Amino acid sequence: MSKKRQQLIDTALQLFYQRGINSVGINEILAVSGVAKKTLYNHFTSKEELVLATLKQRNDNFITWLDMSLKETNSDIEVVNKLFNGLFAWFSNSAIELGNFRGCFFINTSAEFSDPTSNISQYCRDHKLQVRQLIAQYLSQSNTELLDTICVLKEGAISMAYVNHDLSMPAKCIKIVEKLL
Amino acid sequence: MSKKRQQLIDTALQLFYQRGINSVGINEILAVSGVAKKTLYNHFTSKEELVLATLKQRNDNFITWLDMSLKETNSDIEVVNKLFNGLFAWFSNSAIELGNFRGCFFINTSAEFSDPTSNISQYCRDHKLQVRQLIAQYLSQSNTELLDTICVLKEGAISMAYVNHDLSMPAKCIKIVEKLL
DNA sequence: CTGTTGGTAGACCGCTCAGTATACTTTTGT
DNA sequence: ACAAAAGTATACTGAGCGGTCTACCAACAG
């Protein structure tokens, strides 16, 4: 992997996540990263290809962070606790690996790209599936009902943290799952 | 209210919701609505003002639809049933008043406009508050815990319907609340 | 009958966009 | 040591953007 290529991905991810993909132009990414335009088009054939690379990078970062957050859990309720405490840390900018919170990059990107069959929209869907499967790995047995509950609460908590500016949901989600178990 | 003004709002809402605000130009709205550019700038001083008018229109449509959906409920569980069955109808394009489902217009718009202090982002937040208060009105007593639960499940169900293409969540949310009551 | 109001049609402005082209320099593998 | 590969800097293209402007038209009220 080229160093310049990685510079471009890091800069683009930062700008895309903080301001939205359609609000950030190629020229700004070049100015901030200090890379020449020809170098960018040497590594990526189009803006879309760069976008896909940033989605992959963010997915890797997120999965790594989540995997770390869920490590060493001995019960389902502990998984739930670590998951939602992790989300709260993310929302309140205490998870430095994930950057300044501006919602879920994949939800935001899905909102910007309306064609559900595009590579970009499909990748966003795939990311959500990967997160679901990672959570499933940490639950004691294959419990689809609990898994569904956790996932829908997680998506709700993310959405309300970003749109409503309500950071209280992770704590409430833990209480909800406690009652259900 | 002028007829031309309403034509512009209706056309803009349709295009903005289906494709995203930053992906739809003024000229396209004019071409589709059949209105002259000067007429648009006679009614709205800028694109942003037109965007705010479409948000208000969508909010009115949504609140009206939800109010209709929740009418004549005699218990909290009935409210929950009608709410999530209503959401399922929306997701599966059976709520014609809400148009072809492409997620929540306010979540999508928040994703596109990154400044949380902008009028647009603030209106999106306000919409969510209005929906919450409408649901609260239909619950038998002031039950913040139940209200929070319903709201977080609702946001999760909307997000998963759009991003994950998973329409099964409304039914699962009903079961979750049933267990909790 | 005429002046105001609100509309149409479309040219135009300055700017930004994604992407290409040119000419030169640096790095690197053998 | 030197050719090939990779990077820099920058000008440019064609298209689209939001927004302004001019000129003309139709309806209607005094």
A50 backbone dihedrals φ, ψ, rounded to 5°: -65, -40
A8 occurs within a structural domain: no
Q: Does residue A29 register a pLDDT over 90?
A: yes
From residue A159, give the alpha-carbon distance in Å to each of A106, A132, B86.
12, 17, 20
Q: Exposure string (b/e) for A17-41, b if CB count within 10 Å is 16 or more?
A: bebbbeebeeeebbebbebeeebbe
Q: What size, in residues, is chain A?
A: 181
User: Which of B152, B168, B174, B176 has the highest number of chain A CBs within 10 A, making it the mutation to test binding with A?
Assistant: B152
- CA neighbor of A159 nearest in space, from B169, B138, B104, B32: B104
Mean pLDDT computed over every residue of chain B? 97
B118 backbone dihedrals φ, ψ, rounded to 5°: -65, 155
By C1' distance from the Cα of A7, the closest nucleotide is D7
The number of angstroms, rounded, from the C-alpha of A107 to the middle of its chain's C-alpha atoms is 8
- Decide if B80 contacts B135 (C-beta within 8 A): no
Hey, what are A153's tokens? Answer: 């609460």
B6 occurs within a structural domain: no
The pLDDT confidence band at residue A177, using thresholds 50, 70 and 90, is very high
CA distance B2 to chain A (A): 31
Q: Compare all CA atoms of chain A with the CA of B124 and give the residue at the minimum distance.
A: A163
- C10 C1' – B37 CA distance, angstroms? 10
Q: What size, in residues, is chain B?
A: 181
Q: Does residue A179 register a pLDDT over 90?
A: yes
Of A20, A165, A179, the CB nearest to B125: A165
Residues of chain B contacting residue A113, judged by C-beta atoms under 8 Å apart: 20
**Complex-level ipTM:** 0.96
Is the alpha carbon torsion for A168, A174, A177, A179 positive or negative?
Answer: negative
A25 occurs within a structural domain: no
Q: Does residue A165 register a pLDDT over 60?
A: yes
User: Which of B112, B121, B133, B155 has the highest number of chain A CBs within 10 A, making it the mutation to test binding with A?
Assistant: B155
B19 occurs within a structural domain: no
Q: Compare all CA atoms of chain B with the CA of A151 and give the residue at the minimum distance.
A: B156
- D13 C1' – A43 CA distance, angstroms? 22
Query: Residue A64 is part of which domain span?
Result: 49-180
Task: Name the amino acid, one letter, at B178.
Answer: E
Mean pLDDT for A86-109 is 98
The proportion of chain A whose per-residue pLDDT surpasses 90, expressed as a percent, equals 97
- Decide if A133 contacts A160 (C-beta within 8 A): no
Domain count, chain B: 1
B15 occurs within a structural domain: no
Cα–Cα distance, A69 to A81 (Å, whole number): 10
Q: Does residue A1 register a pLDDT over 60?
A: no
Write down the H helix ranges in chain B.
Answer: 3-19, 26-33, 37-43, 47-70, 76-91, 105-112, 119-138, 144-162, 169-180
pLDDT tens for each residue of A102-138: 999 999 999 999 999 999 999 999 999 999 999 999 9
A148 occurs within a structural domain: yes
Q: Compare all CA atoms of chain A with the CA of B104 and give the residue at the minimum distance.
A: A111
Residues of chain A contacting residue B112, judged by C-beta atoms under 8 Å apart: 20, 22-23, 111-112
Mean pLDDT computed over every residue of chain A? 97
* CATH code (residue A129): 1.10.357.10
The number of angstroms, rounded, from the C-alpha of B74 to the middle of its chain's C-alpha atoms is 25
The number of angstroms, rounded, from the C-alpha of A177 to the middle of its chain's C-alpha atoms is 23
B10 occurs within a structural domain: no
> Does B172 sit within 8 Å of A18, measured CB to CB?
no
Mean pLDDT for A85-94 is 98
The number of angstroms, rounded, from the C-alpha of A132 to the middle of its chain's C-alpha atoms is 12
Q: What parts of chain B have a pLDDT lower than 70?
A: 1
Cα–Cα distance, B15 to B25 (Å, whole number): 10
B93 occurs within a structural domain: yes
- C26 C1' – A36 CA distance, angstroms? 14
